[in-house]
Structure 1
Amino acid sequence: MTNQSSKACALDQKVQLSLIIVAANAARGREGAVKNSNQIANSLKAGSALVSLAILCAGSPAAFAQADGGEQEAILVTGSRIQRDGYDQPTPVTVMTAEALQNSQPSTLADALNKLPQLGGGRSRTFCCEVGTVGNYLNLRSLGTTRTLVLLDGQRVVATRESGDVDVNLLPELLVERVDVVTGGASAAYGSDAVSGVVNYVIDKKFTGLKLNLQGGISNYGDDQSFRIGAAGGAAFADGRGHFVIGVEHFKTDGIESLNDRPSSNNGHFMAGNGTAAAPYVALNGVRQNTASYGGVIVDAGGLPVAGAGAPLGGLRFLPGGSTTPFVFGTAIPGSPAYTIGGDGIENNLAQPAGSLRTEKLYARLSYDLADNVTAFVRVNAGQSTNRMRVLADNRQRGTAFTIFNDNAYLSSAVK
């Protein structure tokens, strides 16, 4: 009878463990806060079921002890919808494990972080707002990347740019244990560069063993191919007083060349009108801009390709080889003289929605416990990031007029 009771309790324990894991998996990777009281009530009901299962085993503790006399591992149930540590902190803190971030966005941890509601539009390979910006810079509360402080194990990281921003593409990912996001009151402790908050990458400094990562991917349209390879290892020495971890990673993605490569944006879409009763908004396709053309066009003082004062040759469009031909207008759009449907103008969908990215990085840490409360360590973090993105889609206009003399060697005889 004792053996049978032991088996029954062991079975109940497995059922309880399975339910907890399922609950954790169902919550993993979700973002934000609990939406309504119904979800809270459902969570309480699930918790009651788990407690009742645990009581089933409590009736025969001796038999349970005979079934498993070893140490039991702690079970940690987490969900990104709940700020686990935030309840015990003086400021709001969201804790995201590396596993949850990878499940949410397997490409990079930075891309997964950018999906959190706390972060607004930062600068990355899919969102770039100034010339010369490369990398991935986090932007808490949309207050700017210079007001978001990035830490590595609670310590400041060497700035990537002169503005003080940190490219998180250069931070190690294989050895990351979790990422803490602090969204309030951080400036009092860290200064003005933490006005919007702090993002702290926490490394698994006691990692032991070997970890390998090899993955690749491609979009449904045959572009934006990505490839990642990495290895990390860790070992203890000196009877556990010392520890060494190291990780190397390489990541490459080709990006998306043009908005023309997506059916949702390759139709020359344009919104005409001003929203009034006389000119309501109208969605149009096949619209081109008349202020520029492939190869260039001569425009008048108003920016249109027509002959006028100061532009006697206005309306001539340059072809490959330097020859010219008259600019052909398409169908006029009322209220938008710079745009027509069809014609020789250019489309406005040449922007690059996602640039290419290549990173190589190395992280190593050697630590030794000099005493129970004193640890000496040496840390090396090195990396290189290359992000190419076409910021100015076609360089179709210049803000300042310039003069081309009639003896220019590149002008055809027809223009001279």
Structure 2
Amino acid sequence: MKGKRIGASRAMLKLGCCALAITLSGAAFAQEAAQDTPEEGAASNAEIIVTGSRVRGEAPVGSTVTTLGRKEIEASSQVTVDRMIKEIPQVFDLGVSENSRGQSGGSGNITYGNSVNLRGIGPYATLVLVDGHRVTNNSRSIDPSVIPSLGIERVEVVADGASAIYGSDAVAGVVNLIPRRSLDGGEVFARTGISSRGDFHEYTLGAALGKVFERGQIMVAYEHVERSNLSGDDRDFFTSDQRRFGGGDYRIVRCAPGNINANGTSYAIPSSGVTQATAGSLTAGSLNKCDELDNQDLIPRQKYDSVNSTGRYELTDWLDVFYDGFYSKRSFYRISAYSNARLTVPQTNAFFVRPDGFTGSSYTLDYNFRNDLPTNDSYGYARSWQITPGIKAKLPGGWEAEALFGYGKTNDFSGSYFGVNNAALNAALASSNPATAFDPYGLGRTSQAVLDGIANQIFLAPTNGRLRTYEARLNGGLFALPGGEVKLATGYERQDFKVALGSARGAPTNPITFRNFGRKVDSFYGELFIPVFGPDNAMPGFQRLEINAAVRHDKYSDVGSTTNPKFGVNWVPVDGIKLRGSYGTSFRAPTIPEIYGNSNNLFGQSYQNPAGGAPLQGYALSGPNLDLKPETATSWSVGADFEPTRNLRFSVTYWDVNYKNQVLANLSNLAILGTEAQYAGTGIILRGTDAATRVQQLLAQGVTLAGGSFPGGNPANVTLFVDGRSQNLGVSITRGIDFTATWRAELGSEDALTFNASGTYLTKYRVALTPKAPLIDRLDFIFNPLKFKARGSVTWDHGPFSARVQAIHVGGYFNNLTVGGQNVKSYTPVDLNLTFRIGDQQASGFFEKGMTLGLEVRNVFDTDPPYVNLAPSGNGSGGYDATASDPIGRLFAVSLRKSF
């Protein structure tokens, strides 16, 4: 495969033209707030590098940086770094999330991790870095929780295309996790929380030690986090019968007791069961209905153990050595719903019941195994580690050279052991011997040995990855202009990635087989900073004017080459006002699992029925697509930052992202039938005999059914097929406005109020799901980017006491997946944090120095998620929208933090 090639000369021509356009139009647009240099610096003589630029000592030009520093991290009511990041309004919970796997990319999230999805552009379109460099991952995405919150100095988010700076994946932006290098002493932390309903709890224990000495520093931090599961049975909105909420009846007929279907006539099996002697109790036309997903977890149980460390030592006045490293293991356990199926029961069955008037030799029976088989729960872990040492040399003329080497590994595993063995089930249904027959009539007469043989199908999916990275950087000044020094950053990077995708399905004795793949990437980049106007030549209308130009070339061993430019402008016409703009192109190489598939199987799944009523049974294909091409994007933004007084600052940014060749995977999209018309002619969705024919073709080619069962045990009865493989289908245009505002009111020497507000308002989100399909407006539709998200807080600092009230607002939107549609209400939970600083905070020593006590109430008013008229899904949502709200409800927590 060959990716899209962009000639360097053509790229630079585009860059130059856009520079002029942005410079002329910068004053006509408004955008979001620039951030100051983070307040907590690093150890002695170490420089602060700001995410979004490789040029030493310079913040990104034309883009803003959103920063979560130590103060914000400590004030957060969230327990892991990934959840802290998700409180930023630009981050959407679409795709790769522990509580929702229904959107594109979610099917690969078999270990229930979390990614960062800036502006809803895509779960793999945001690049996550650690201390400015790439780290190992499971070949899909990086979960920020690999770094403990105690080991983070700050998190920097640049919501702007950055492939010219960092390469692949930085289409929507970059998240940089910067580990602590300034800790001089120790810190211990403990926190525990429980929901007001008593059905969810979490706790954290952690410690960090650091030492800053004359020629360097060293730091190590460890954290243990546990979060319990939250069962759907504990939330009344997660139900199939939603008529009491004014919604639909999504109950199914595969129940316990079940329903006989004989020659088109249904007979509900009584709750006491039925035998041939009591067959007269069967009533023609009667029907049992039930919830499909009783017992399923909305949030899985998670345990985190993570440790990270940093170090730096000044060998000489001109030579430093440094490192950062981490180890993380996150384990999960997710309780599943009970299995169900449509059985074919022949008259040879030892317990066969013949309804009055039925003369056939077999019939179908809709059944739930809740009273017979264990739930097919899944459990596993995501384990990763990396060490990245480096060396930095000061060169003549103020130049610096830096070299880094990174080595890391990942080991992910997801497994389940109690899947239904369809062959054993059909044999037991046909058996005339009561000792080996299966009883589907509600009297529990099946022997345990038979049940054990039916519930013995395994699903094991390990993924092993290894990453080697090599980086060489050169940074310094070229020459002086009246406005300041022209600076250059240039470098070379190499990534050597190997991944082994493992699989074992079927009989418990089946071994795990691995498919091994590799990828190498060679990259060259250059970035130029040009200060046209500065303090030395400022004039009215031009207090400062800075231009930044960057270009990067990446050559992949498997998907071709690409060259991407970026250009930025900062213009300060008068003190307190900065106008800025940026333009660039970005790309994302498809991941190895997207190209080669996690598996090559069929999965039986329940799909939301756009016509209303019970979900439809369909069959989705997972497998390789060797023709996948890289995604490409063009993005630009313009904005302004205002600081009229020392205590007041606000900013606004208008941005535009044109995303092409998007890779979409519909394996986990159980609401896909709501957009079926857009897939016309592609073969992605097939109905009726076309669906059955396609499934039978795949079976003949060796593709197996890995989950669920065919209606009546016969693939010819299939009526719905979905091609869930990754496809280059999507084209999207996303535009919006980001804003931030901060005001601090000094009430006294130790008394102040601080007001913060930030938000994202999307003005356009139009999508073409296929290359030939028209662009369709999908803004503010369920499971798509929402028009408005915002966060506001008020903090009162009063001597040793602080109080913070925070509200996170998700605007209402439209649910088009139900008959007639539904306007979903907005969602605004409010959090309260109280902090008490006890004792002398300036003292030294463990026993002498004071401590900080925190009391928290998350979702003070116990606001339920807005009702969403949607059938419960095995991949999240149902009665509520897991991508836009939190099902936990009110949570009380207490924390204790002590530094020494």
Category of TM-score, reference length = shorter chain? 0.5 to 0.7
Question: Any idea what the Cα deviations from partners look like across 1:293-324, whole Å, max 9, x if unmatched?
Answer: 136x35xxxxxx53226xx9x64659799979
Whose helix fraction is larger, Structure 1's or Structure 2's?
A: 1
| Partner residue, 2:326 | 381
* Aligned 1:17-416 pairs, distance under 5 A: 89-122=61-94, 123-129=96-102, 130=107, 132-159=110-137, 161-163=138-140, 165-237=141-213, 240-258=214-232, 260-265=233-238, 268-270=241-243, 283-284=246-247, 287=249, 289-294=251-256, 297=258, 306-308=261-263, 315=267, 317=269, 343-346=288-291, 350-372=295-317, 374-390=319-335, 393-397=337-341, 403=426, 405-407=429-431, 409-412=436-439
**Closer/same/farther in 2, CA of residues 396 and 174 from structure 1, 3 Å limit:** same
Aligned 8 A contact 1:322 1:410 in 2: no
Aligned 8 A contact 2:268 2:283 in 1: no
**Closer/same/farther in 2, CA of residues 250 and 389 from structure 1, 3 Å limit:** same
| Partner residue, 1:9 | none
1:266 positional shift: 5.6
1:176 positional shift: 1.0
Taking structure 1 as the reference length, the TM-score comes to 0.61
Gaps of 5+ in 1: 1-31, 35-73, 78-83, 272-281, 299-304, 332-339
**Closer/same/farther in 2, CA of residues 224 and 320 from structure 1, 3 Å limit:** farther
Cα distance in 1 for residues equivalent to 2:164 and 2:324: 27
Aligned 8 A contact 2:267 2:285 in 1: no
Cα distance in 2 for residues equivalent to 1:184 and 1:283: 42
Whose strand fraction is larger, Structure 1's or Structure 2's?
A: 2
Cα distance in 2 for residues equivalent to 1:145 and 1:126: 14
1:135 positional shift: 1.9
Aligned 8 A contact 1:125 1:387 in 2: no
Cα distance in 2 for residues equivalent to 1:179 and 1:75: 10
Cα distance in 1 for residues equivalent to 2:217 and 2:246: 63
Question: Any idea what the Cα deviations from partners look like across 1:243-266, whole Å, max 9, x if unmatched?
Answer: 1101111000102122x3124446
**Closer/same/farther in 2, CA of residues 214 and 411 from structure 1, 3 Å limit:** same
Cα distance in 2 for residues equivalent to 1:321 and 1:213: 56
Question: Any idea what the Cα deviations from partners look like across 1:181-227, whole Å, max 9, x if unmatched?
Answer: 11112112222211121110112212110000101010011022111
**Closer/same/farther in 2, CA of residues 344 and 174 from structure 1, 3 Å limit:** same
Cα distance in 2 for residues equivalent to 1:181 and 1:100: 14
1:330 positional shift: 11
The one-letter code matched in structure 1 to 2:328 is: G
Structure number with higher relative contact order (C-alpha < 8 Å, ≥ 6 residues apart): 2
The one-letter code matched in structure 2 to 1:147 is: A
Query: How well do the aligned residues superpose, as a CA RMSD in angstroms?
Result: 4.1
**Closer/same/farther in 2, CA of residues 85 and 368 from structure 1, 3 Å limit:** closer
SS in 2 for 1:292: coil
1:105 positional shift: 2.9
SS in 1 for 2:340: coil
Taking structure 2 as the reference length, the TM-score comes to 0.30
Identity %: 24
Gaps of 5+ in 2: 1-30, 41-49, 53-58, 345-363, 365-421, 446-900
Cα distance in 1 for residues equivalent to 2:113 and 2:187: 26
1:104 positional shift: 3.6
The answer to which of 402-411 and 113-122 deviates more is 402-411
1:397 positional shift: 4.7
Cα distance in 1 for residues equivalent to 2:430 and 2:297: 36
